[in-house]
Amino acid sequence: MNKFIKAIAATALLSAAACSDVPMAIKASDICNKENKDVLVTTEGVIQLPDSFYTTGGSITMAFEAPAGKYRIPALHIYTANKSGEKKNMMEPLNEGFTEADVKIYDDKGGMIKLGDKIRVTGEVWGGSKEWCEISVEKIEKIN
């Protein structure tokens, strides 16, 4: 009976986390698992160009930090426009043949983030598996 109560409590906690407006602080190396799918998270890392990336309908997927060890690091799904029209929590679209100098990412205050800068991102986890794991970025904060 005790295991049953613990299972119900754990399910309730996961459901509350998935529906919460308060992000769960999770290490980047611990995000990509099915328990975090659709959960609002906040994590820290270094932004860099991935080996390959894609752009779809107003967003670009970037690498968060180089994989170290055997865990998967989530990709960052960053929007190329926002509702306010301001350059906050977004990045400029990239044209074919771009260079690192063309990558322009903006934090929550509209300041420029450079590749290699340490950042804190907040967003919803998509996928949450070894095959697909992204954070749909809502907020980007530069860490000094």
Residue with tokens 């998967």: 72
Given a cut of 50, is residue 5 above it in pLDDT? no
The four Cα atoms 122, 142, 45, 48 give a dihedral, to 10 degrees, of 110
Q: What is the mean pLDDT of residues 54-80?
A: 72
3-state helix, strand, coil in the chain (%, to 5): 20, 30, 50
What are 68-99's pLDDT values in tens digits? Answer: 555 567 888 888 887 777 899 999 888 888 88
Q: What is the mean pLDDT of residues 39-51?
A: 87
Token pair listed for 134:
């992204």
> Where would I find the beta strands (DSSP E) of 1-144?
24-25, 40-46, 55-56, 59-62, 75-79, 90-91, 105-106, 112-113, 118-126, 134-142
Nearest one of 109, 118, 63, 64 to 90, comparing CA atoms: 109
Residues 97-103: contacts with CB under 8 Å, at least 24 apart: 100/49, 103/49
> Which band of pLDDT confidence, cut at 50, 70 and 90, is reported for residue 41?
very high
Give the integer Cα–Cα distance in Å for 5 and 28. 30
**Range in 3-7, 49-53, 55-59 the model is least confident about:** 3-7
Element spanning 25, H or E = strand 24-25
**For residue 85, what are the domain limits?**
2-142
pLDDT at 140 (0 to 100): 96
pLDDT at 13 (0 to 100): 44
How far is the first Cα of the chain from the last one, in angstroms, to the nearest whole number?
50
Token pair listed for 33:
């698992």
Given a cut of 60, is residue 46 above it in pLDDT? yes
CATH number, position 61: 2.40.50.140
- List C-alpha distances in Å: 70 to 7, 81, 128: 29, 34, 15
Q: How many domains does the chain have?
A: 1
How many residues would you count in the chain?
Answer: 144
> Which band of pLDDT confidence, cut at 50, 70 and 90, is reported for residue 8?
very low
> Which band of pLDDT confidence, cut at 50, 70 and 90, is reported for residue 105?
very high
